[in-house]
């Protein structure tokens, strides 16, 4: 699990790779703040596409003021 947090506004963004019912990898993104939590799941055709999406999300979070927690 990769965790990002923004100390200024209390928001968080978590990324994790899990298996779905068919055994395929899916990317689970949980984002939110103090009182709201939203979860979204992405499926991919290949591990390379999944990794590319993870890197793009990480770069965007850092650019928007989040810091990497773990």
Domains by residue range for the chain, with CATH:
2-68 (3.10.450)
Tell me: pLDDT of 42 over 90.
yes
Q: Give the pTM.
A: 0.85
Residue 64: what are its φ and ψ, rounded to 5°? Answer: -95, 15
Pairing of strands 2-6, 11-19: antiparallel
For the cut 80, the answer to whether the pLDDT of residue 22 exceeds it is: yes
pLDDT at 4 over 80: yes
Query: Across residues 5-34, what is the average pLDDT?
Result: 93
Average pLDDT over residues 4-17: 94
16 Cβ neighbours under 8 A, 6+ residues apart: 1, 2, 27, 28, 30
């Amino acid at each position: 699990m990769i965790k990002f947090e923004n100390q200024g506004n209390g928001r968080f963004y978590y990324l994790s790779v899990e298996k779905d019912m068919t055994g395929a990898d899916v990317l689970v993104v949980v984002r939110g703040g103090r009182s709201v939590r939203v979860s979204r799941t992405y499926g991919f055709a290949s591990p390379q596409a999944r990794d590319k999406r993870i890197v793009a999300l990480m770069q965007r979070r850092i650019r928007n003021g989040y810091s990497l927690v773990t």
